[in-house]
Structure 1
């Protein structure tokens, strides 16, 4: 379990700051409505049977694999997750890949062309989901990669690749079950702490317990064996739905990702005096739920108006106006989970636990926000005579995608869209990601690049999540073009 957090003074880091940037170039938009007709008259060399019809069918098939009856939910190595992994493995084999499952439940498929360099291109996304999820998050990236490789197989070009290609369906990205994200990709990147194996879920099972239940003998001694060596990897590419509204607003199916915002997940525990709801006078209460409510409102005010709380200079004078300005443009904070004990209508709670998710492209500014939140938390809790504990459950610094990979992905996206439309669509947009992705963990291993795919209304982590069939097709064509051109 995570220990009590150490809150650092803000502005101590000398790491580079990356402002939140959305770069949209001039282009001829392809509207969502028009995109449903772009397949008319296309030649068979665009492989709609594999990259569109089959890929879409597979995404929907995977969307039915769930641990719940009425909604989609697959958490780390749950029965539904294992079934999903087995299904993905059969698709990998169908595309000509050699498959296996590693010691943390990641599903791998790899092709080793003759006379190829030993450095492999890794392509991946995650097979786990949030609770009440949409079916495209994670699944689109996995299926698009497998479909693109299958096209190379059926055309006889797979064995002509100059590098091995490996598709990885990561076992955990969302962090729902153990509140510790990137379990699968962090293990491969070699940055998963050994202590993670002893983190317990709500039922009391640890990560190591769950691994043993699934006949995976991974422990503190052999966890490091899952790590890939940097010299064996050419790079990492991920395709993912945008989870935002920008691509839909500009009328294009694909964008290149410039970078990913850093994030911190906190667990806050507020303890007070449990008592009878009818007998303890209001003036004598030490109610942790009311204190938690004030803390949450305080957090909202802090994150809406960081400039009112964070000065341009820290105690050592190393901060500058840039960090505060970038916070205002990229900072988002969320309380997504709250629980009380004993959670009865006629009992003043004894303790309250809630989560905090803080994200911004400015890593120094994120530390400043956490420091200020800690100050406010202790002031509020002292005034209300309750105790507070803040634990850091997850930290990930902002990540910049590799300029070389991005250039190649941008060219591949342009090629795919031009082949589909028969027109010059202009520049492919470049976006920042406010959501976390496995690419964040993989950046500790190798250079990373990402493609975003348009999703309806920018909705994600919801059953309303949706991607047009032609946009699924565009994603597969882009990966195919990337592999053919660069490998």
Structure 2
């Protein structure tokens, strides 16, 4: 960031900032960002590509002495925790900036009982509730937020184009389900007398899969609005159990407690809530039948977000310009996509209008070591951000 001529600092949530003042520092600022963190066993492009693209574009303007000609301040933010892997709560960095992170988030523990506040303190960052509130940006000082991100899907690759424009981001709910039964000896407790938390959890997970594959078999909806909701659900609803653990986790012991996570995403917020309501009811029925207890906790909630039409139009022009620079040919249009993955733009939408560019990734693979973006497509992403910034001169 400093090599790109930016003033830098790290805030109390570990976000890294770089700011160019422009020719009028009193103007509302444009924020560009993405996240530094990634998931376990991941690739190198998810999040980082958006940060590097923005810094690279600003470095071009710095070298060409155009940076100080920007009509508004430009700030790049490398957010500290978007994925929510360690603390099971996403958007810690961007939610703090947008003012929607509760003070209670500082006391969220990881699996070892270490809290967010502990981790920050171990890295020489002291933060209190007042300090967290102080991180929030004034909405009146912000013009908009832009993010470049790998698609994490196969649409752009199938279209044969490096860049696309995001029109909206699916809403998301994360649940933690704890099933408690009766721990016992694997060889002495008859099958008819068991309260097996793992077997109950397995039935709950299969229920989730059935519900999300065929929501129309579970939800009885009437009317035009409800039918529209069902169509949206059928096209966008995805549900995942990504983590499961049991206690005492021994091969010759009936598990007394089993915990698993649920990730539910859909473009229709009302439909997503209807699925969660039906899922919860049916889960409790199964647990009652199996004589086990079931606790369902909501760990994360984010409504679907629509991208700003004006920003999207500007980003589309920038993407078309970038693709022309690379190929030398005029590209008639850029694909417009919905995002099933969550992004920092979701948190930032509470602060300001948002826009996003997607970048092609090989095979649509992400959250994997096989995640890959070609050098040419990295180049395209940087050129698109540069073209967008040039419109701010």
User: Shared topology, TM-score over 0.5?
Assistant: yes
1:279-335 deviation per Cα after TM superposition (whole angstroms, max 9, x unaligned): 10111100010000000000000000001111214xxx8952111111000000000
1:132-163 deviation per Cα after TM superposition (whole angstroms, max 9, x unaligned): 01000011000000000000011111110000
CA distance in 2, matches of 1:198, 1:154: 44
Gaps of 5+ in 2: none
* Secondary structure of the structure 2 residue equivalent to 1:100: strand
- Is 269-278 or 420-429 further displaced after alignment? 420-429
2:351 aligned to which of 439, 445, 449: 445
Contact 2:70 2:392 in 1 (8 A): no
2:145 corresponds to which residue? 236
1:175 corresponds to which residue? 84
Contact 1:113 1:160 in 2 (8 A): yes
CA distance in 2, matches of 1:117, 1:310: 52
Instruction: Work out whether 1:461 is the aligned partner of 2:345.
Output: no
Contact 1:312 1:319 in 2 (8 A): no
1:132 corresponds to which residue? 41
CA distance in 1, matches of 2:25, 2:389: 14
Contact 1:408 1:486 in 2 (8 A): no
Gaps of 5+ in 1: 1-91
* Deviation (angstroms), 1:221: 2.5
CA distance in 2, matches of 1:459, 1:256: 19
2:6 aligned to which of 97, 116, 123: 97
Within a 5 Å distance, the mapping from 1:282-301 to structure 2 comes to 282-301=191-210
* Secondary structure of the structure 1 residue equivalent to 2:333: coil
Contact 1:124 1:168 in 2 (8 A): yes
Contact 1:117 1:162 in 2 (8 A): no
1:78 corresponds to which residue? none
* Secondary structure of the structure 1 residue equivalent to 2:33: strand
When the two structures are superposed, what TM-score results if normalisation uses the length of structure 2?
0.99
CA distance in 2, matches of 1:373, 1:219: 37
1:203 corresponds to which residue? 112
* Deviation (angstroms), 1:116: 4.1
* Secondary structure of the structure 2 residue equivalent to 1:130: coil
**Structure with the largest fraction of strand:** 2
- Is 211-220 or 354-363 further displaced after alignment? 211-220
* Deviation (angstroms), 1:114: 3.2
1:51 corresponds to which residue? none
2:267 corresponds to which residue? 361
1:366-410 deviation per Cα after TM superposition (whole angstroms, max 9, x unaligned): 000000100110110000000000000000000000000000000
1:387-443 deviation per Cα after TM superposition (whole angstroms, max 9, x unaligned): 000000000000000000000000000011111111111111100000000000000
Count of residue pairs the alignment pairs up:
393
Instruction: Work out whether 1:217 is the aligned partner of 2:130.
Output: no
Contact 1:264 1:394 in 2 (8 A): yes
* Distance verdict in 2 for CA 1:124–1:455, change over 3 Å: same
* Deviation (angstroms), 1:120: 0.7
CA distance in 2, matches of 1:326, 1:256: 20
* Deviation (angstroms), 1:185: 0.1
Within a 5 Å distance, the mapping from 1:111-126 to structure 2 comes to 111-126=20-35
CA distance in 1, matches of 2:316, 2:23: 28
2:158 corresponds to which residue? 249
RMSD across aligned positions (CA): 1.0
* Deviation (angstroms), 1:457: 0.1
Contact 1:116 1:161 in 2 (8 A): no
